[in-house]
Amino acid sequence: MQNPSFIPEDTEIRFITFGCEEAGLWGSRQYVSRHIDELKRLDARLLNFEVIAHPEIIILTDDVNGVKNSPEMVKSVTKAAEQAGVPFKVRPYPLGGGASDAGSFSKAGLKALSIFPCKFPQQIVSFYHQRQDTPEVLSIDPLINVLKLTLEWIRSGGE
């Protein structure tokens, strides 16, 4: 590892992609179901990314039809965004009853939330889950801001 000081001691990082989100969070629900004891024992935290398309990051306070995300996570991710100097807002899920893979974790009482760097509703209406939803809609600034926030959050130990 080139920068071990960025990862606190006794920290394990997993990069996971879940399938079938749009079909009822099937992949994340199965993961939580299969690993719930381990996730609780490890005091796991999930930082989920949704629609990385706008420089301003929305930190979601809820998920899956109003299920509350961990206030501890909201606080730690907000602090990381501040420390990283990225623009952000903290608010409920903007789609009125929408869901992300973090919802499966929050629903099980685990520490989780999603960040949603997307201009709502403009970008959702213009390309989200449509034929225009191609790599060309991505730009570098939203990706850099998510990376900055994530690295700061990891560096702080998710606290």
Are the C-beta atoms of residues 91 and 22 closer than 8 Å to each other? no
Distance CA 93, CA 68 (A): 10
Residue 66 lies in a domain: yes
Both tokens of 56, joined, read 């301003």
| Residue 19 counted as domain residue | yes
Alpha helices in the chain (DSSP H): 26-41, 71-84, 102-107, 122-126, 140-155
* Domain hosting residue 31, numbered range: 4-151
Number of domains, the chain: 1
- Is residue 157 situated within a structural domain? no
Amino acid at 146: V
Residue 8 in contact with residue 157, Cβ under 8 Å? yes
Which residue stretches of 11-63 are H helix? Answer: 26-41
What does the block give as tokens for 153? Answer: 């959050």
Contact 115, 47 (CB under 8 A): yes
- Residue 57 contacts residue 145 (beta carbons within 8 Å): yes
Q: Is residue 59 part of a domain?
A: yes
Question: Contact 115/149 with Cβ under 8 angstroms?
Answer: yes
| C-beta of residue 101 within 8 angstroms of C-beta of residue 25 | yes
Note whether residue 156 is domain-resident: no
**pLDDT value at residue 90:** 97
Q: Is residue 159 part of a domain?
A: no
pLDDT reported for residue 48: 94
User: Which CATH number fits the domain that encloses residue 97?
Assistant: 3.40.630.10
* pLDDT of 1 over the 70 cut: no
> 147: Cβ–Cβ under 8 A, 6 or more apart, which residues?
none
| Chain segment 73-106, per-residue pLDDT in tens | 999 999 999 999 999 999 998 766 678 889 999 9
77 is a domain residue = yes
In a domain, 70, yes or no: yes
- Helix, strand, or coil (residue 52): coil
Q: What is the pLDDT of residues 109-145, one digit of tens each?
A: 999 999 999 888 777 767 667 788 788 878 999 999 9
44 DSSP assignment = -
pTM for the predicted model, two decimal places:
0.88
**What is the longest distance spanned by two Cα atoms in the chain?**
44
